[in-house]
């Protein structure tokens, strides 16, 4: 094994407020620790060092991720050492030590640290100090400080595993970070570019900053669907899963649910998966008269299999008759049931074409739909 990570998550994070330690609080829909683990897991083995009191919540956070949990110590240095010792049986060549509260760490920062370890015993990201620096006393500016050669340290801080383990075993006392421990052992540490986005959640205000960055990382997709069905002889139509008495029926290979077809195509469109015809060819006799619920469920299942959540769907039915308003609530309820959504995430509405075109002449019904998919 070449690369491993030690994620330090045993602290109490009291300055961040909120009751729970900050690493277990949610930001942009996930616990802080989950975001951090998902950022580093693609690069190597992961050990997360936790407080014994947090074992139950930590087990929930790591579900589905290859993460080992280790109990930490009374201070940061002791916790890091516990994480390093846990790797000894399958010792990696190099280890990156990272604060769990830096949940927005860019992949580029991680790869830069790893690359620097090819030629240096240690490497860490940092940003040069660009602001003027003051000293202060009793609430007053007491002087200025030269900022030349000063850096704002970040994590992950990477080292050759054997070197940093020996350094921590020999270190006595508390250290601000692992670079201090490494330098006390005589190890050189290269500086690689840090990132302004690699913020550390420390205060309550930092949660909002992190949420803004993490939402940008989300994969948000929009899809549109459009369908038309002509009228034929009959005594009812099926629209968005609801059977409505009418003087005519809609003509189609399946049950001709024009609204449900439009929503289904919107989902397929957001996934770049074509349309209903690709997945359920009208030339296939097994779909003759099929309930459109089959198609919609397939699209929903496909979206979730690809890791997407269905945020909302919006469908507009275009027709003179039948009147949609009296049935809209039932349609929303039925569509929400089929899609596994809350009813307030499904919109069904209608309009006329002011007696223009084929819908105005009551030759058929058209439907437009939009679907939003989100992959956190």
- The pLDDT, as a whole number, for residue 342 is 95
The full set of domains in the chain, from first to last, is: 3-217 (3.90.550.10), 219-375 (3.30.1330.50)
- What average pLDDT does this structure show over 132-148? 94
d(CA 69, CA 91) in angstroms, rounded, equals 16
Strands 94-99 and 3-9 turn out to be parallel
pTM: 0.64
Q: Phi/psi class of residue 57: alpha, beta or left (left: φ > 0; alpha: ψ in -120 to 50)? A: alpha
pLDDT attached to residue 17 = 54
The pLDDT value recorded for residue 361 is 96
- Quote the pLDDT of residue 370: 98
The residues near 61 (Cβ < 8 Å, ≥ 6 apart) are 24, 31, 33, 34, 37
Summarize pLDDT for 78-89 with one digit per residue, the tens.
Answer: 999 999 999 999
Cβ neighbours of residue 247 closer than 8 Å, sequence gap 6 or more = 235
Distances (CA, A) of 126 to 76, 100, 122, 199, 210: 20, 17, 13, 11, 19
The percentage of residues in the chain with a pLDDT greater than 70, rounded to a whole number, is 98
| Separation of alpha carbons 184 and 175, rounded Å | 10
pLDDT digits (tens, 9 = 90+) for 147-196: 999 999 999 999 999 999 999 999 988 899 999 999 999 999 999 999 99
């Amino acid at each position: 094994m070449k690369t491993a990570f030690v994620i330090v998550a045993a602290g109490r994070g009291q300055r961040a407020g909120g009751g729970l330690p900050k690493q277990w609080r949610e930001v942009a829909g996930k616990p802080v620790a989950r975001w951090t683990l998902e950022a580093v897991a693609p690069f190597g083995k992961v050990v997360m060092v936790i407080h014994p009191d947090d074992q139950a919540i930590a087990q929930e956070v790591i579900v589905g991720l290859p993460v080992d949990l280790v109990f930490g110590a009374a201070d940061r240095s002791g916790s890091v050492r516990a994480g390093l010792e846990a790797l000894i049986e399958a010792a990696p060549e190099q280890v990156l030590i990272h604060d769990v509260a830096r949940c927005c760490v860019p992949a580029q920062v991680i790869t830069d640290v790893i690359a620097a370890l090819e030629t240096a015993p240690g490497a860490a990201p940092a940003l040069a100090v660009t602001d003027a620096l003051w000293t202060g006393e009793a609430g007053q500016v007491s002087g200025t400080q030269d900022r030349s050669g000063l850096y704002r340290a970040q994590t992950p801080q990477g080292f050759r595993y054997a070197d940093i383990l020996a350094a921590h075993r020999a270190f006595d006392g508390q250290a601000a970070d692992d670079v201090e421990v490494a330098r006390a052992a005589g190890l050189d540490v290269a500086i690689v570019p840090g990132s302004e986005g690699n913020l550390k959640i420390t205060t309550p205000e930092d949660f909002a900053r992190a949420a803004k960055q993490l939402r940008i990382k989300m994969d948000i997709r929009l899809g549109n669907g459009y369908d038309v069905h002509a009228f034929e002889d009959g005594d009812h139509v099926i629209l968005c899963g609801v059977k409505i008495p009418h003087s005519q029926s809609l003509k189609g290979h399946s049950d001709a649910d024009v609204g449900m077809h439009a929503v289904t195509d919107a989902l397929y469109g957001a996934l770049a998966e074509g349309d209903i015809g690709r997945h359920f060819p009208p030339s296939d006799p097994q779909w003759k008269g099929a309930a459109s619920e089959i198609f919609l469920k397939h699209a929903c299942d496909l979206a979730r299999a690809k890791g997407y959540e269905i945020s909302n769907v919006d469908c507009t039915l275009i027709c003179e008759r039948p009147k949609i308003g009296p049935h809209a609530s039932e349609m929303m309820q039925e569509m929400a049931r089929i899609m596994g959504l809350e009813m307030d995430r499904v919109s069904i509405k209608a309009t006329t074409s002011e007696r223009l075109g084929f819908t105005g002449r009551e030759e058929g019904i058209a439907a437009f739909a939009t679907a939003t998919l989100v992959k956190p």
